[in-house]
Amino acid sequence: MKITIIGTGYVGLVTGACLAEVGNDVFCLDVDPRKIEILNNGGMPIHEPGLQEIIARSRAAGRITFSTDVEASVAHGEVQFIAVGTPPDEDGSADLQYVLEAARNIGRTMNSFKVIVDKSTVPVGTAQRVRAVIEEELQKRGLAGSAQHRFSIVSNPEFLKEGAAVDDFMRPDRIVVGIDNDADGNKAREKMRRLYAPFNRNHDRTLYMDVRSAEFTKYAANAMLATRISFMNEMANLADTVGADIEAVRHGIGSDPRIGYHFLYAGVGYGGSCFPKDVQALIRTGNEMGHNLRILEAVEEVNHEQKEVLVRKITAALGDDLSGRTFAVWGLSFKPNTDDMREAPSRRVIAQLLARGATVHAYDPVATTEAKRVFALDLAGVPDQQARLHFTSTQDETLAGADALVIVTEWKEFKSPDFVHMKAELKTPLIFDGRNLYEPDAMAELGIDYHSIGRPYARPAESTSDSDRT
């Protein structure tokens, strides 16, 4: 099938690459010429494991094209995926300007039946707005009601985890497709069935429903996952107070099949491009409809405060004034296996440390380039803080002479470090772990002063850290 993908961000690029991988002829459009140049030169504008390899295969086979030519993109695809960004507006609602502009471009130049697929995460009712925009453009062209220019709007939300997006697309848990129940909808349903047939060979994972329910499903799924994270973080904070071990609690409740183990890890809060903006957008939708979504408001508030927990542990041990202190920070991206810095907890942690006078040596396996760009914006206007933030090329480099190690992202390479070497490099054997990577008792035996999230503190043998002296 001939497929057009509008937008080459995470969703668009993964969708286009995976559809090309199974034999479709895919045209990827982006209005950013820099992105298209990178892709046409064999590079990648994002970090996503496995993506570059499958794009290279499809390019070699002539199954994928990258271009800024809007008219060519509309002419190419019988199915047009809209996969552009929907950033949060000032009031927290989803900004649909890029979605509607994509729809407008389709209406301006389409000359045959099109299936227009909303792949972007959009609020309930967006398909109706997309339809209205396309009909408006067709009316301007004097083509309203033309049999040749009919179209169907489909809602096909993505359920891709950054860092595992390729595998999620190729081996989906479910494929949600929302379609109107009319003649054009039936035609669209058949095209979507053909398109997703390669991903349904073992058993049919496709869930067909009405368009509004499909739009709502995506928001509800992300809101539920965000709720689980904030719930466990609240439990972890209480565990700190009452002396319980949140890891033991996680095993205790996760073993209940009604609960399960997924998204029950305590930490420094969620980030990324999905959970924060989707929770905000759903809250906003509720407000517009006269429904106060109190649980989600609490989820958002808990997550905001959780990003401060690690800094509070640091200041409790070392004092509010961190002038003259140096901190090694491991992990900058909001999660492992991505370079995405959107809403990353590291941004809040590092900003707080710098504001208190500290120097920060930061390391991330893949996100350093993006982190430099983001922090240049975050710290604009505060050159003194900018001067105290340094990025290193290895995790060992961050340790030399640091007063403490701060772990913010749970990259695999951080899970089994050489603790003897670490102690030798650090000025004091002091770790603040925002991801609970290590066992407190084991750290105490090694003489490391270890502070984690929701786990009992074990006093280290022969510790000489400042936190013992305060």
State yes or no: 271 annotated in a binding site: yes
Hunting for tokens 């350093």 — which residue is that?
368
User: By three-state DSSP, how is residue 82 classified?
Assistant: strand
Of 14, 106, 274, 407, the catalytic one is 274
Q: Name the β-bridge partners of 29.
A: 6, 67
Pairwise CA distance, residues 57 & 63, whole Å: 9
Asked if 431 contacts 330 with a C-beta cutoff of 8 angstroms, the reply is no
Count of Cβ atoms closer than 10 Å to residue 390 Cβ:
13
State yes or no: 30 annotated in a binding site: yes
Cα-based angle 249, 255, 257 (whole degrees, multiple of 5)? 135
State yes or no: 86 annotated in a binding site: yes
Which tokens is 428 given? Answer: 């004091």
Interhelix angle 126-140/211-242, nearest 10 degrees: 140
In one-letter notation, the amino acid at residue 377 is L
- DSSP type of residue 181: S
Q: Which of 64, 145, 72, 84 is nearest to 110 (CA)?
A: 72
Which tokens is 121 given? Answer: 């995460």
Which tokens is 366 given? Answer: 């893949």
State yes or no: 266 annotated in a binding site: yes
State yes or no: 267 annotated in a binding site: yes
State yes or no: 185 annotated in a binding site: no
Q: Name the β-bridge partners of 88.
A: 94
User: By three-state DSSP, how is residue 115 classified?
Assistant: strand
Q: Which of 88, 107, 280, 12 is nearest to 96 (CA)?
A: 88
State yes or no: 143 annotated in a binding site: no
Asked if 59 contacts 175 with a C-beta cutoff of 8 angstroms, the reply is no
Asked if 390 contacts 362 with a C-beta cutoff of 8 angstroms, the reply is yes
Q: Is 216 exposed, middle or buried (0-12, 13-18, 19+ CB in 10 A)?
A: buried
For residue 28, indicate whether it is catalytic.
no
State yes or no: 347 annotated in a binding site: no
Q: Which of 37, 80, 9 is nearest to 340 (CA)?
A: 9
State yes or no: 264 annotated in a binding site: yes
Question: What is the SS3 string spanning 146-162?
Answer: CHHHCEEEEECCCCCCC
Hunting for tokens 């590079």 — which residue is that?
43
- DSSP per residue over 309-360, as a string? HHHHHHHHHH-S--TT-EEEEE--SSSTT----TT-HHHHHHHHHHHTT-EE
State yes or no: 118 annotated in a binding site: no
State yes or no: 332 annotated in a binding site: no
State yes or no: 372 annotated in a binding site: no
Pairwise CA distance, residues 93 & 127, whole Å: 16
State yes or no: 469 annotated in a binding site: no
State yes or no: 162 annotated in a binding site: yes
Q: How far is CA 105 from the centre of its chain?
A: 28
State yes or no: 342 annotated in a binding site: yes
User: By three-state DSSP, how is residue 28 classified?
Assistant: strand
Bind-site residues for substrate: 159-162, 218, 263-267, 271, 335
**Positions marked active-site:** 274
Bind-site residues for NAD(+): 30, 35, 86, 121, 162, 277, 342
Bind-site residues: 30, 35, 86, 121, 159-162, 218, 263-267, 271, 277, 335, 342
